Amino acid sequence: MRLTAVLKRCIRKVCLNQLFLQLIFILSACSQTGCGMSGQRDLGAFEKYVTQFEEASVKNHRPIQVIALIIRMGSLPKQTLALCTIGAGAPLITVNQERWSSLSESQKSIVLNHEFGHCVLNKKHNDASDPSGVRKIKSIMNAHPLLATDYSVHAESYLAELFSQNSDI
Ligand SMILES: [Zn+2]
């Protein structure tokens, strides 16, 4: 009888430990993804940009796996190339269907990395100039990201800034 009671207690403890580990895993996943309550990942033709973003996050020591994000073409005002909307469910990026095809590949990366900054990293706009003077602007989170016309030259530096923890002031 005594052995059975000990066994039962051990089994319960193992279960609790597993529950605890699962909780830690969920909390950790939340902190890495902005914690959309819905885990829906629906990227359509934009999958490759998210994959590149995830690869850059690893390279910049802030590994992120995007679990909750929807990207769709849609109708937007002419001056808005894309828009991040955060509400209930997975964050949504709407891409301007009239403007997208006229953008260069470099511009497409800038626009989507800017929106990932909002929708995945919870970043706000940062219109500061680059203190080192090396790049045109400090951050891809500039309210007018296409000012980063030097992106193709300084992409690594812009991405390092994007993934830094303390530059979204
Ligand atoms: Zn923005």
CA 141 to ligand 1 center in whole angstroms: 6
How much is the pTM? 0.76
- Strand ranges for the chain from DSSP E: 41-42, 69-74, 82-85, 92-96
Per-position pLDDT tens, the chain of length 169:
565 555 566 555 544 455 444 544 444 444 444 454 568 999 999 999 999 999 999 999 999 999 999 999 999 999 999 999 999 999 999 999 999 999 999 999 999 999 999 999 999 999 998 888 888 899 999 999 999 889 999 999 999 999 998 654 3
The answer as to whether 17 is a domain residue is yes
Instruction: Measure the CA–CA gap between 55 and 71, rounded to whole angstroms.
Output: 18
CA 146 to ligand 1 center in whole angstroms: 11
The answer as to whether 152 is a domain residue is yes
Which residues are CB-contacts of 98 (< 8 A; sequence separation ≥ 6)?
75, 76, 78
As a dihedral over the C-alpha atoms of residue 24, residue 30, residue 32, residue 38, rounded to 10 degrees, the angle is 140
CA 150 to ligand 1 center in whole angstroms: 18
CA 118 to ligand 1 center in whole angstroms: 7
The reply to whether 90 and 147 lie within a common domain is yes
The reply to whether 82 and 95 lie within a common domain is yes
The reply to whether 42 and 27 lie within a common domain is no
CA 74 to ligand 1 center in whole angstroms: 17
Look up the CATH number of the domain holding residue 45. Answer: 3.30.2010
The reply to whether 70 and 108 lie within a common domain is yes
CA 20 to ligand 1 center in whole angstroms: 37
CA 25 to ligand 1 center in whole angstroms: 30
Which residue range(s) make up the domain with 126?
37-163
